[in-house]
């Protein structure tokens, strides 16, 4: 049975929360001060912890800081009666998932516990402080037929000196494939990546081939280029299709003669490295149009390898998303998180025009923004809409928000909608319930005022409160915090 820690010096708060927690199927441990809470956290694994800020001895935020809440698998909920933004901000920095202001609504506590229950049975990996992964190493993630064929091709060519031409859309991971080829080939030298388009036009040749002192204005000393830096290793020429024609001719000599000459020098040097080129362009058409040398294309195209787009390996999206989430939670010192099944379905249904790179950047943003340990469909859909330039839901008209929720409900029903009945009453009740609840909260429970604001008779309001089960729950009186 999953356990929840309740740390508060108010006995009535501990009693109410204990009843709520055990009623939701959890076991509860109680602590009346920060020192005991810290001791219990050091001995037991907890799915969640409700921690009061102000307790005798050690305060709640210090407890979170001591246990490194950001890296802990426990989901921490900070409780306080102090209505100050700086306290909320400090709690969040300390690693609190939620900031609960007293007096709190027990329905909210129940909702948080339902989330915790789902997280506890999710596909989340347990947190192990000693378990480290080298996130900087080259790793291809996937099990689709398309990516397995890439694995097989890498295995065939890695230990040879054959020039490789990687083809594929932007963001599919061509540089990652090149790094894997380099690492599996066991080369002694380094992996050196070059994108000539990222280098100013008048410096491209000097960057690649190096130069001697006085080779051009400003060359106050000799300097080796990328070809020299990649000796006995791998030179990765990214976006080779964007290379100017005059530089293409000099690269051809490197591939043909395995030698190059630095700027300002008459002495040719041997090149002992391997060359891997990549492009998202159609080099055959560029050759036909006279924009790419045919002889260079022939030299590069010794071992062509097409890297599949994400649309060709959709079954890998859940694996990639989970991998990137674990990666950035570790890098950014966030607690381990996971996607719900529905959230992964949302990601898999999305059209990733930027391929794996776009998916990685999106998941990294989720790792930064999310507070819960289980990322749900609604959160993923909302962030996808923002990424595509959709208006912020918080600024959208009420009618639009309601319509979107109804559309989502109907979409989930699918063909089963024909067997449904009473949808009108269902949605009217779902809108009416929160409307009455919010107005009652705003009027401090004054039904006369609430009825006036709503524009209905007081007796009608009483009747609707009873029918919608909105009567306030009785609770034990405790010391105000």
Mean pLDDT per 10-residue run, the chain (481 residues)? 89 87 90 90 88 86 77 82 63 74 82 78 38 58 85 84 94 92 87 87 86 81 90 94 91 93 90 94 94 95 94 92 89 84 92 93 89 85 78 58 68 59 73 86 88 90 84 49 44
> Can you tell me the distance from the alpha carbon of 338 to that of 185, in angstroms, rounded to the nearest whole number?
34
Contact 338, 122 (CB under 8 A): yes
> Can you tell me the distance from the alpha carbon of 305 to that of 294, in angstroms, rounded to the nearest whole number?
18
- Which strands make up the sheet holding 27-31, listed edge to edge? 27-31, 3-7, 48-52, 75-80, 98-101
Q: Which residues contact 424 (CB under 8 A, 6 or more apart)?
A: none
With DSSP H G I counted as helix, E B as strand and the rest as coil, what are the percentages for the chain, rounded to 5?
A: 50, 10, 35
- Tokens 């339902």 — which residue? 114
> Can you tell me the distance from the alpha carbon of 345 to that of 33, in angstroms, rounded to the nearest whole number?
43
Contact 245, 293 (CB under 8 A): yes
> What are 171's two structure tokens?
């963001």
> What are 28's two structure tokens?
């509860």
Half-sphere exposure of 361 (CA within 13 A, CB side): 11
What separation, in Å, do the N-terminal and C-terminal C-alpha atoms of the chain show? Answer: 31
> Can you tell me the distance from the alpha carbon of 64 to that of 477, in angstroms, rounded to the nearest whole number?
28
Contact 337, 373 (CB under 8 A): yes
Q: How far is CA 354 from the centre of its chain?
A: 15
422: left (phi over 0), alpha (psi -120 to 50) or beta: left
Judge if pTM exceeds 0.75. no
> What are 184's two structure tokens?
């599996």
Contact 336, 374 (CB under 8 A): no
Q: Exposed (0-12), middle (13-18) or buried (19+): which is 35, by Cβ within 10 Å? A: middle
- Tokens 């989330």 — which residue? 115
Instruction: State the pLDDT at residue 126.
Output: 36
> Can you tell me the distance from the alpha carbon of 161 to that of 186, in angstroms, rounded to the nearest whole number?
12
Backbone Cα Rg of the chain? 31
> Can you tell me the distance from the alpha carbon of 213 to that of 423, in angstroms, rounded to the nearest whole number?
81
- Tokens 């990214």 — which residue? 238
Q: How far is CA 164 from the centre of its chain?
A: 32
């Amino acid at each position: 049975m999953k356990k929840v820690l309740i740390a508060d010096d108010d006995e009535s708060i501990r009693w109410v929360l204990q009843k709520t927690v055990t009623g939701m199927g959890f076991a509860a441990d109680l602590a009346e001060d920060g020192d005991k809470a810290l001791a219990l956290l050091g001995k037991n694994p907890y799915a969640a912890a409700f921690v009061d800020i102000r307790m005798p001895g050690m305060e709640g935020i210090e407890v979170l800081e001591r246990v490194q809440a950001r890296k802990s698998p426990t989901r921490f909920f900070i409780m306080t009666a102090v209505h100050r933004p700086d306290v909320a901000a400090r709690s969040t920095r300390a690693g609190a998932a939620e900031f609960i202001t007293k007096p709190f609504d027990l329905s909210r506590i129940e909702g948080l516990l339902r989330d915790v229950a789902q997280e506890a049975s999710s596909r989340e990996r347990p947190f192990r402080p000693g378990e480290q992964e080298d996130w900087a190493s080259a790793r291809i993630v996937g099990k689709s037929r398309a990516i397995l064929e890439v694995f097989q091709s890498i295995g065939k060519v890695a230990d040879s000196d054959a020039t490789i031409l990687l083809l594929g859309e932007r963001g599919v991971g061509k540089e990652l494939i090149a790094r894997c080829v380099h690492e599996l080939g066991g080369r002694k030298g380094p992996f050196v990546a070059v994108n000539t388009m990222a280098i100013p036009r008048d410096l491209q040749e000097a960057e690649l081939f190096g130069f001697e002192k006085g080779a051009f204005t400003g060359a106050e000393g000799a300097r080796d280029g990328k070809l020299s830096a990649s000796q006995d290793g791998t030179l990765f020429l990214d976006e080779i299709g964007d290379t100017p024609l005059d530089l293409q001719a000099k690269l051809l000599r490197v591939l043909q003669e395995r030698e190059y000459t630095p700027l300002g020098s008459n002495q040719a040097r041997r090149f002992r490295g391997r060359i891997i080129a990549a492009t998202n362009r159609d080099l055959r058409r560029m050759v036909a149009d006279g924009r790419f040398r045919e002889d260079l294309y022939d030299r590069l195209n010794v071992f062509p390898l097409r890297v599949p787009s994400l649309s060709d390996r959709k079954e890998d999206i859940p694996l990639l998303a989970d991998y990137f989430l674990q990666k950035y939670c570790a890098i950014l010192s966030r607690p381990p998180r996971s996607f719900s099944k529905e959230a992964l379905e949302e990601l898999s249904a999305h059209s990733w025009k930027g391929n794996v790179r776009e998916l990685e950047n999106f998941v990294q943003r989720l790792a930064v923004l999310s507070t819960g340990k289980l990322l749900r469909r609604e959160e993923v859909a909302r962030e996808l809409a923002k990424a595509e330039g959709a208006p912020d839901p918080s600024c959208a008209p009420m009618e639009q928000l309601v319509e979107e929720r109804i559309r989502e409900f109907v979409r989930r029903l699918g063909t089963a909608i024909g067997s449904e009945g009473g949808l009108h009453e269902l949605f009217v009740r779902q809108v009416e319930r929160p409307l009455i609840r919010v107005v009652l909260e705003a009027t401090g429970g004054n039904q006369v005022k609430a009825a006036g604001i709503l524009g209905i008779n007081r007796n009608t309001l009483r009747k609707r409160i009873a029918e919608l089960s909105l009567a306030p729950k009785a609770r034990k009186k405790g010391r105000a915090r």
